[in-house]
Amino acid sequence: MSVLPNTTTKGADRRWPLYVLVAVVLVALALGVEAFLRSENFLPGEDIPSPGIRDVAVSPQNSLYPPPDTAHFEEPPDTIFVYLSVEDLPRVESMEARVEREESGSAFSLLFDRGASIEVLDEQEDQLSTGENGATGIMKFAVRTTSGEPVPPGNYTVEIYGPDTTGEEDAVAVRKLFVIEE
């Protein structure tokens, strides 16, 4: 008669689901805290280091001249228009706008939301006159999704690059920060 040895250990096989559950809860908690802190540190506003740019405004309204500035959107618009008021700005044709979006939301939405692709278009009609010192008037850019859906909620930073006073081509001329609520 042969006796088989007992090779099982009690309870060791049942602990791994508990470790996985604790790890998932800790990751979700860390993502939630990070999203909360990121949204708390984001303040809408503007920074205009270029002396040729007088003002910047964002609005859901498409008009010839800048409507009142909207730094906080309560619902997602289809398109956001960025207006620049410029005076004696050299080489306006080399200006380029870029947009960056930081999502704000629950840990679940941050994990599983792929987000919409955002683009900046410079196909708007500018109201500029050129003189010997540069261009003066209103420039306009449009921010929208590539799919045509409304611009998703989040914290947005629009940076417009152009020549600075030293002649550097890729300097930040304007930085505008605004929020779109859910």
pLDDT above 90 (res 176): yes
Tokens read off for 57: 């405004």
**Cα separation, 115 vs 35, whole angstroms:** 15
Residue-wise pLDDT tens digits, 77-120 = 999 999 999 898 887 777 888 899 887 554 444 445 555 688 88
The answer for residues whose C-beta is within 8 angstroms of residue 59's C-beta and 6 or more apart is: 66, 67, 68, 69, 70, 80, 81, 83
Tokens read off for 128: 């500029």
Tokens read off for 97: 């706008």
Whether the CB-CB separation of 157 and 44 falls below 8 Å is answered with no
In this prediction, residue 92 carries a pLDDT of 78
Tokens read off for 154: 């989040």
Strands 171-180 and 45-47 turn out to be: antiparallel
**Cα separation, 86 vs 162, whole angstroms:** 12
* Cβ atoms within 10 Å, residue 162: 25
Mapped onto helix, strand or coil, the DSSP state of residue 12 is helix
The answer for residues whose C-beta is within 8 angstroms of residue 165's C-beta and 6 or more apart is: 50, 51
Q: Which residue has the tokens 């921010």?
A: 143
Whether the CB-CB separation of 44 and 104 falls below 8 Å is answered with no
Mean pLDDT of the chain: 80
CATH class of 39-180: mainly beta
pLDDT above 70 (res 162): yes
In this prediction, residue 110 carries a pLDDT of 47
Tokens read off for 46: 């503007």
Q: Which residue has the tokens 């505008």?
A: 176
In this prediction, residue 167 carries a pLDDT of 57
Instruction: With cut-offs at 50, 70 and 90, classify the pLDDT of residue 39.
Output: low
Q: Which residue has the tokens 């629950």?
A: 106
